[in-house]
Amino acid sequence: MAYRVAVLAGDGIGPEIVGVTVDILRAVGKRFNFEIDYEEALVGGIAYDATGTPLPESTLEVCKRSDAVLLGAVGGPKWDNIQPPTLRPEVGALLPLRKELSLFANLRPAILFPALAGVSSLRADLVADGLNILVVRELTGGIYFGQPKGRDADNSRAVDTCIYTRDEILRIARVGFESARKRKKILCSVDKANVLETSRLWREVVTELAPEYPDVALTHMLVDNCAMQLVRDPRQFDVIVTENMFGDILSDEAAMLTGSLGMLASASLGSATTTAGGTFGLYEPVHGSAPDIAGKGIANPLATILSAALLLRNSLLLEDAAAALELAVATTLSAGSRTADISEPGKISLGTADMAAAVLNHLG
Ligand code: IPM
Ligand code: MG
């Protein structure tokens, strides 16, 4: 039986990077003997232009009847000033997608492939052996969604509200502990407990859960200190678990340590189970729609390809295929292939399609 994957290419470089990634998934399917039905749907600015909303109901339906969603990117200057701002692609598509599909756990692995040590923003001796940090970000709560939210009629005051319930903290903390258990068993919970009440509850709940995971070493860190430690000595981290907005910021910071935002994959997971027995999820590169380079065929497709590997692993339980795809990416980089964003003197500079072809080549 074929798996079902919803394909939401979106705006900017979205269609380019998603296009080559679906080709690669088809090739992986042939090699590992599985079949996926791809169903395309509109999201973002292109959906707004066609239907008046960046997240049409029909797109949500396509997602809901799938085992997983592969998303490119949304937004661009053309849609930056849409009124009301709640119809802008970022806020009007991404946030409701996460909420409607109950994707509360955002996994953002920041992996520095050893071949890319030279393009990290950190000194070579700090990242010589590569880096592998997993940021587990809470994705459907906190200040992004709390009510009240809005502005006084006379524009004199604006408000956003940060709310966390015990249950919301508990379920993401569990994802943090479980993820750490599969890795180096070191979990750092990040909060702002010296100032925020939601952070004090966060720290309390995470601490209460710790006895269930005696094999995981838990520490707590204030978010400002964590931002500093990430650039001072990133090797101290294995898994970081944190609330929505801190996770947004820290995952961009962690991403840059790995050389380029163009390398970072992500998985947004809920608790629903797929026909394959995996977890339903949405997979997307951490980078945005990059309107400045859209249509030029030079975008780095690796973050999307690595997101597809996460899709195979988490939603379809195809571990061998996922690992083979990740290995093909690593080998491609070791062999010297580079896109513009990770280019280095003496390496082979490729566009989107050729980079994807190189990965396919290394897939064997
Ligand atoms: C991200 C993005 C989004 C977020 C924006 C585009 C709404 O920055 O996925 O990290 O803040 O979550
Ligand atoms: Mg972000």
Domain architecture of the chain: domains with CATH:
1-106+264-364 (3.40.718.10), 121-257 (3.40.718.10)
Active site residue 182: no
- Tell which one of 87, 94, 160 to mutate to probe ligand 1, the residue whose CB is within 8 A of the most ligand atoms: 94
Please state the pTM of the whole predicted model: 0.95
Active site residue 354: no
Identified catalytic residue from 144, 164, 213, 283: 144
Ligand nearest the Cα of residue 245 is 1
Write out the two tokens for 208: 């209460």
Cα of 215 from ligand 1 centre, angstroms: 33
Mean pLDDT by 10 residues, the chain (364 residues): 96 98 98 97 98 98 98 97 93 96 97 88 86 97 97 97 98 98 98 98 98 98 98 96 97 88 93 95 95 96 98 97 97 94 87 98 90
Query: What residues does 134 pair with on adjacent strands?
Result: 109, 239
Identified catalytic residue from 3, 192, 213, 238: 192
Give the three-class secondary structure for 60. Answer: helix
Nearby residues for ligand 2 (ion, Cβ within 5 Å): 248
**Nearest Cα residue to atom 11 of ligand 1:** 248
Active site residue 144: yes
> CA dist 14 to 33, 92, 202, 322, 358, Å?
27, 17, 35, 21, 20
pLDDT of the residue at 340? 93
Active site residue 192: yes
**Nearest Cα residue to atom 10 of ligand 1:** 248
pLDDT of the residue at 173? 98
* Separation between Cα atoms, residue 71 and residue 311, nearest integer Å: 11
pLDDT of the residue at 121? 87
pLDDT of the residue at 30? 97
Cα of 12 from ligand 2 centre, angstroms: 17
Backbone angles phi, psi at 168, to 5 degrees: -60, -40
* Ranges of H-type helices in the chain: 14-32, 45-51, 57-64, 89, 95-100, 124-127, 166-181, 197-209, 223-232, 244-257, 302-314, 319-334, 352-363
